[in-house]
Amino acid sequence: MTIVARFEIELTRYLDADGAALGELPAFASNRETLVELYRWMVLARTFDQKAIALQRTGRLGTYASSLGQEGVSVGLAHAMRPEDVLLPSFREHGAQLLRGVTPKELLQYWGGDERGSNFAVPRQDFPVCIPVGSHAPHAAGAALAFKLRGEPRAAVAVFGDGATSKGDVYEAMNVAGAWQLPIVFVATNNQWAISVPRNAQTAAATLAQKAIGAGLEGRQVDGNDVIAVRQVIGEALDKARSGGSATLIEALTYRLADHTTADDASRYRDDDEVAKHWKEEPVARLRSHLTTAHSWSKAEEEALIEACAAQVEQATDAYLAEPPEPPEAMFDHLYAELPSALAAQRDAALAETPE
């Protein structure tokens, strides 16, 4: 009997749970500014997240999916991307979207039920939030194929959760990425929960990263709560993608500290003790510790940052709340490039109807 294939999955981590360096850090991590930047985006993401939950609880935002605890993954991966790369998020990558240039107001509009929230002013080619789990993975393959056909040094980054890795769409996208050597980075944010289904009930695979092997891709694990590690690993995968080295699947290990959405009550299916344990590993505190210890991050700077983020989020909230909804013709006017005559009468009828 001959062994015809083996595989290895590497896990990358630079900081321990308390923020102490485990060994040599990547070059960018010795740059205080860069680290502060990463930290700032994570704080902004969390501040936004808290505000969004508060708005939902007061009836001013729709059902919202919190990213509490996952800021390291979102911010790390987006920070590694270039502006001309394309992000295809699921519904929990608020930090990534913010870093890519989606404004807090746009995010609030999206979650508040206004389509204008997906008409990003800045990242014009980033995809909007994808709700049907994993169904955007093939889009990433399509976008990456476009880059390849046009010879553009761009990459597509598709982000999804642990549950999504059970989806056929995700496998099909990985498979074609391998077959066609497409410039994609697939990021599986393993926050251990797919609503109420824990990771070990999702699949028998020992890691999610090894699902890449089946598609002929490299699979890697990274400590998702170590934003330095995330930044580094994603960066490597992007470089590889852009240089024709094909796609990678990166499993970012983290934990969903909040409920699945504001319509979920996680205490129905998981232990508060378990959650409490994972708070000890969360990414924002971890980087703060590191910043404090290794780069003298001060209380003043901390307070200033918190204040600045709060102000930014507050301003966005005011703007969002002040914005009246679009007129009803918006339902029709953007459906096709040009309003078809077949729909003109319906549009008129819709406008004529006044709500009671």
Question: Contact between 349 and other proteins (CB under 8 A)?
Answer: no
Question: Contact between 324 and other proteins (CB under 8 A)?
Answer: no
Residue among 13, 79, 256, 286 flagged as catalytic: 256
Beta bridge partners, 159, equal 187
Question: Contact between 330 and other proteins (CB under 8 A)?
Answer: yes
Q: Which is nearer to other proteins, 148 or 288 (CB)?
A: 148
Closest approach, Cβ 276 to other proteins, in A, equals 37
Stretch in the footprint of other proteins (CB under 8 A) among 173-181, 185-193, 239-247, 270-278: 173-181
Binding test (CB under 8 A) with other proteins, winner from 42, 55, 140, 247: 140
Residue among 92, 94, 260, 286 flagged as catalytic: 260
Site string for other proteins, 9-48 (x = CB under 8 A): ----------------------------------------
Residue among 82, 269, 334, 336 flagged as catalytic: 269
Q: Which is nearer to other proteins, 181 or 289 (CB)?
A: 181
Binding test (CB under 8 A) with other proteins, winner from 201, 337, 349, 352: 337
Question: Contact between 63 and other proteins (CB under 8 A)?
Answer: no
Q: Is residue 260 among the annotated active site residues?
A: yes
Question: Contact between 138 and other proteins (CB under 8 A)?
Answer: yes
Question: Contact between 212 and other proteins (CB under 8 A)?
Answer: no
| Nearest-angstrom CA–CA distance, 180 and 192 | 31
Burial label, 353 (beta-carbon count in 10 A; 0-12, 13-18, 19+): exposed
Number of residues that bind other proteins (CB under 8 A): 49
Binding test (CB under 8 A) with other proteins, winner from 38, 156, 284, 316: 156
Closest CA relative to residue 130, chosen from 160, 97, 95:
160
| Nearest-angstrom CA–CA distance, 98 and 110 | 13
CB atoms near residue 4 (< 10 Å): 5
Q: Which is nearer to other proteins, 136 or 290 (CB)?
A: 136
Site for other proteins in 85-124 (CB under 8 A): 86, 115-116, 118-120, 124
Q: Is residue 256 among the annotated active site residues?
A: yes
**Binding interface with other proteins (CB under 8 A):** 86, 115-116, 118-120, 124-125, 127-128, 130-132, 135-151, 156, 168-169, 172-173, 175-176, 179-180, 330-331, 334-337, 340-343
Which residues are marked as active site? 256, 260, 269
